[in-house]
Amino acid sequence: MVVAAIIFSIGLYGALTKRNAITVLMSLELMFNAVNLTAVAMSRYIVPASVIGEAQTAVTKDIESAVQMVLTGQIFAIFVITVAAAEVALGLAIVITVYQTRDSIFVTDANLMRN
């Protein structure tokens, strides 16, 4: 999870500082990856509080659903990947459209609404 935090911060830095729109999108992908990594690491290493301690009697009645609870992190990551795929397809389409109309790939030049 520390590794995921470092990757997320690198992606954050890139998304904030770069002028090239494609680099911004690549930094976004880095952040998505870091979030996925955190979700999967959580599901692998961390046990829900409802499984241990006093609440465990309620959970043990339904072992199957309690067991599947540990996979929720992976399911979460699958949906994040799906959304990331849709986002990058749309983002690159927008980048190409902006490039065609304004002849520039830099996000700082996309300032049509400033005036």
Distances (CA, A) of 69 to 35, 39, 61, 62, 109: 19, 13, 14, 11, 47
Site for other proteins in 84-113 (CB under 8 A): 84-90, 92-97, 99, 104-105, 108
Site for other proteins in 33-62 (CB under 8 A): 33, 36-37, 40-41, 43-49, 51-53, 56, 59-60
Contact indicator for 7, 27 with CB cutoff of 8 Å: no
Q: Minimal distance in Å, beta carbon 72 to other proteins?
A: 8
Q: Minimal distance in Å, beta carbon 63 to other proteins?
A: 6
